[in-house]
Structure 1
Amino acid sequence: MSWTQVSERRYERPISKYEMFFLLPEDVSGALFNGRRTYTIFSRLKVDLDLGVPPLEIENALRHAWKQVRYEQPSLAMIREESKKVYEVPDKAALQAWLDRTFIVSDDTDSELPAREARPIEQATFYYFPKVSEIVFRAPHSVIDGMGTILFWDTYLTALTIPNPNIAFGEEGIRLFPIIDEILGIPETPSPESVERAAQGLNDFAKVVPGIGPISRTNKVPPTLTQKRELVLSEEITKAIIQGCKRNGYTVTAAVHTAIILTMAKYADPTQTTKDSKYVTITAQNFRPKLPAPYNSSKCAISLYLYGWPLIVDEPVTSTFQEIVQIVSKHYKTVFNENPANVIAGGPFFDAILALVQDPAFSAAPHPRDPLVNGLGVLENHLHQEYDSADRHVAVNDFKFSCDGTMGYSGIHFYTFHDKLRVVYGFNEAFEDESDIQIHLENIQKVLLEEVVA
């Protein structure tokens, strides 16, 4: 599974199971919807740029930083060829072609338009919207995860404020990142015990799918535009929620996820849900804090360093906040942190999922209805509000993160930035109504205020 240099300018390795987990739905949606791939990551920064150059040269500075990130982290430009990941050291013409294809300057004033239309991209792509001073990063989820995206911005803004004038492509292939199993020393051939544990985890998940979930027209109509509704709580409310969580002995992540579960239960499709229905999802957990340097830092942002495991809540329709938050808290605290057997089974669990979704019977069975949920924590732990050097200054005024959706799976991402808790609900307007999404967000806030702050 390691990278191999097969010629002077070419490196290859097999596609990993973690990449394939995202590649399969990307491929299916791309084939069905004219290259519009589901799960494409969207991340936007609103910035003040004081780069010590004339306004007309800001674009060049941004482009150079994009090139510098590729040089420092060549995984940014790897491509897929059948069952392989490939990186080729570019000559001058190939580098310019990559820049022309992946660095886009737009006169639009709506920086969310590429994501709203789910515009097809083959590689990670950077957008600059000078009229609104916003920069956007879009990438296939099979290339990078949510925390990696935050770390990418730290890498990029560092390169923007501290440019390297002496970039010489040629030896950067040695910096291609290994997959997570290699770093953790997990063997490629899993033990029978880890395979059995993974199978049990998947069986627990499969028994309760499709879960609860909101009313949706998925599989009844074709997708149209992907939308993102955002709930931004004030500094005062965010502070009160943080204090309430500390007082009550659980994390903000557990509290927000619990509020989401209760909201899904309250607005579940009444034709598909009973009081005995279970909530089910797979939580993706960032593994970088458990990895050695440099893999735990922004120096290795362009990577998939995560594991997943099912979270199941019995009878959420009739359960209280306190009952559910204890289950969610235990899951986040112990599923990997106090359970090395689950860590070893993390890879086989992805193997089991891939086998399941490629089984023809899976297509005919009910699919999960509950939105995917991912908490990204306090962004300032990884992304500064300001980046400075002797002659350059960048202020990051706002951050937004979501994923494009073309196959019916909604996604809820939440994080804190500038002392404000933000919840972003990504959905496809063909499947769910924007007015319903707004009601869901308002109910999430209501639950947090009543159960955590009060």
Structure 2
Amino acid sequence: MMAIAWKQVSATRWERLLTGMEDYLVETGRSSVELYNGRQQYNIFSKVRVEIRVPDVESALRQAWKQLRYEQPAIASTLDGDRKVYDTPDEGGLDEWVMSTFIVSDVTDTDTLTSKPVRQATLYYLPATSELVFRAHHWVIDGIGTIMFWHCFMEALASPNTNIPFGDEHVRLSAPHDKALGYKRPPTAEQSLATTAMITGYLQSLPGIGLPSKIDKALAAACRNGEHIFSKETTADIIAACKEKKISVTSAVHTAYVCMLVKHADPASNQARYTTANEFNMRPYLPAPHNTTSSAAAVYYVPMPFTMNLPASYWDIALALHEHYQTSLKGSLKTVALTPHCCHSIAALAKTEQFKTAPIATDGLVSSLGIVENHLHRQYGETVTVTDFKLGIDVVLGASGFFFYTFHDQLRFVYSFNDGYEELDEVQEYLQDVERVLREELLGATL
């Protein structure tokens, strides 16, 4: 595996090979495209509600979207086989891109937007609800990158640049994970062995406990994103309790999710073990500019396997997860150095018949996005106020997602699922039970 940089292949085209998680996400997306009429597993879905104080909101949004194309050119990247492609637009090409990717919609239920495939990253403006929706292939951007994207977009709204000299933006195309870390050589024999051992151990621990799902009995239907929002008071109490008990909020919520799985487990699943791949944001380990908003449109995360034998108490699970989150990458340069090779191994695995025919996990992939305001402000001058934020993924193959984060001092859960396999009322019960576990274990409340 070699770090692959962007290369100019014509006067207006830049290309590079897919790497690591990009390759995995493209392979998974292609599998779902063939089965579900162009819809792709793991597409990013994010919504913000905004108050915009300008005379012509639609024109301002269109201009900001064009500005983001210049500042974050990777949002306009496309695929050509196993290559990521960026084309520098002329004036006509830029107008065509804006026309096809900036859409004014009269819908009020944002989940209905997920029914249509997207060719490129697309921005929707919903005047009726004052909402913006961003949809993009996951191989273009990740969760933290999406929050950074919104920050960059709001800055463009507040400080518009109407004189954008397209033609030099390729210098800001985000680097792949391995190159961002500065790696230029293939993995050593020791690194290859360590990566193989990690992946093999993960595979051997599958399948784990899962939720009831109609994945083998029904066709994919609508992609949905169930949401559960805590009060500010309960959020503050949970954060304080986590500090007192010396565990992270991420570990506490993830543990409550595991306890919910145990309560609602599919009897046919392996209830003796919980197995997952925790998702780690790589940006804290990258040098500038890759760790800044200038590289928002990038895939800089890595899954790290975690297994826990069940049954186990809340606190046994919490301490194990806390150690996993705190020590897997932090202070371990050796493990950080393994991450590009781990991602390439995952991508290679996704192309095997063994992987493609394996049962699909029915527990959600867990992803903590932390404090949204670490990247997205609530206010941008006198022009923009961000009043709401939501992030999820499109689910068509059956592997659901459980996202959590805080925004406006409120802990928020989003469960991304397909309503052909799971019911919304079931999902809402799951999320309520995660809160119940947190309140009982951290706050001593009986619900």
| Interval containing the TM-score (normalised by the shorter chain) | over 0.9
Partner of 2:362: 369
Partner of 1:42: 45
1:79 aligns with 2:74: no
- Deviations along 1:150-185, whole A, 9 cap, x unmatched? 000000000000001211101111111211211212
Partner of 1:132: 129
Q: CA deviation at 1:306?
A: 1.3
Letter in 1 for 2:416: G
Where in structure 2 are the equivalents of 1:409-424 lying within 5 Å? 409-424=399-414
Structure 1 residue matching 2:160: 3-state secondary structure: coil
Structure 1 residue matching 2:99: 3-state secondary structure: helix
- Deviations along 1:91-118, whole A, 9 cap, x unmatched? 1111111111100001222233112x2x
Question: Whole-Å Cα distance in 2 between the matches of residues 188 and 369 of structure 1?
Answer: 37
Match for residue 26 of structure 1 among 26, 29, 37: 29
Question: Whole-Å Cα distance in 2 between the matches of residues 320 and 386 of structure 1?
Answer: 42
Structure 1 residue matching 2:9: 3-state secondary structure: strand
Partner of 2:235: 238
Q: CA deviation at 1:188?
A: 4.2
168-177 or 324-333, larger mean C-alpha shift: 168-177
Partners of 1:42 and 1:401 within 8 A in 2: yes
1:187 aligns with 2:184: yes
Q: CA deviation at 1:220?
A: 2.4
Partner of 1:64: 63
Cα root mean square deviation, aligned: 1.2
Partner of 1:280: 275
Structure 2 residue matching 1:415: 3-state secondary structure: strand
1:435 aligns with 2:428: no
- Deviations along 1:31-77, whole A, 9 cap, x unmatched? 111101111111000111112x2xxx211110000000110111111
Partner of 1:324: 317
Partner of 1:93: 92
Partner of 1:356: 349
Partner of 1:219: 216
- Deviations along 1:187-213, whole A, 9 cap, x unmatched? 341111111111111111111112101
Where in structure 2 are the equivalents of 1:243-322 lying within 5 Å? 243-274=240-271, 277-315=272-310, 318-322=311-315
Q: CA deviation at 1:237?
A: 0.2
Partner of 1:453: 443
Letter in 2 for 1:425: Y
Letter in 1 for 2:25: F
Partners of 2:44 and 2:392 within 8 A in 1: yes
Q: Give runs of ≥4 in structure 1 deviating > 3 Å.
A: none
1:385 aligns with 2:378: yes
1:3 aligns with 2:6: yes
Q: CA deviation at 1:339?
A: 2.2
1:401 aligns with 2:396: no
Question: Whole-Å Cα distance in 2 between the matches of residues 365 and 104 of structure 1?
Answer: 38
Question: Whole-Å Cα distance in 1 between the matches of residues 177 and 384 of structure 2?
Answer: 32
Partners of 1:280 and 1:370 within 8 A in 2: no
Partners of 2:251 and 2:322 within 8 A in 1: yes
Structure 1 residue matching 2:92: 3-state secondary structure: helix
- Deviations along 1:414-442, whole A, 9 cap, x unmatched? 00000000001111111112222121111
Any stretches of 5+ residues in structure 2 without a counterpart? none
- Deviations along 1:235-259, whole A, 9 cap, x unmatched? 0000000000000001101100010
Question: Whole-Å Cα distance in 2 between the matches of residues 418 and 38 of structure 1?
Answer: 29
Question: Whole-Å Cα distance in 2 between the matches of residues 228 and 26 of structure 1?
Answer: 19
Letter in 2 for 1:16: T
Letter in 2 for 1:18: M
Question: Whole-Å Cα distance in 1 between the matches of residues 177 and 37 of structure 2?
Answer: 32
Question: Whole-Å Cα distance in 2 between the matches of residues 303 and 357 of structure 1?
Answer: 20
Letter in 1 for 2:293: S
Partner of 2:415: 425
Match for residue 340 of structure 2 among 340, 343, 347: 347
Q: CA deviation at 1:362?
A: 2.8
Question: Whole-Å Cα distance in 2 between the matches of residues 370 and 26 of structure 1?
Answer: 19
Aligned residues: 441
Letter in 2 for 1:130: P
Any stretches of 5+ residues in structure 1 without a counterpart? none
Question: Whole-Å Cα distance in 1 between the matches of residues 356 and 284 of structure 2?
Answer: 36
TM-score in terms of structure 1 length: 0.95
347-356 or 172-181, larger mean C-alpha shift: 347-356
Where in structure 2 are the equivalents of 1:203-214 lying within 5 Å? 203-214=200-211
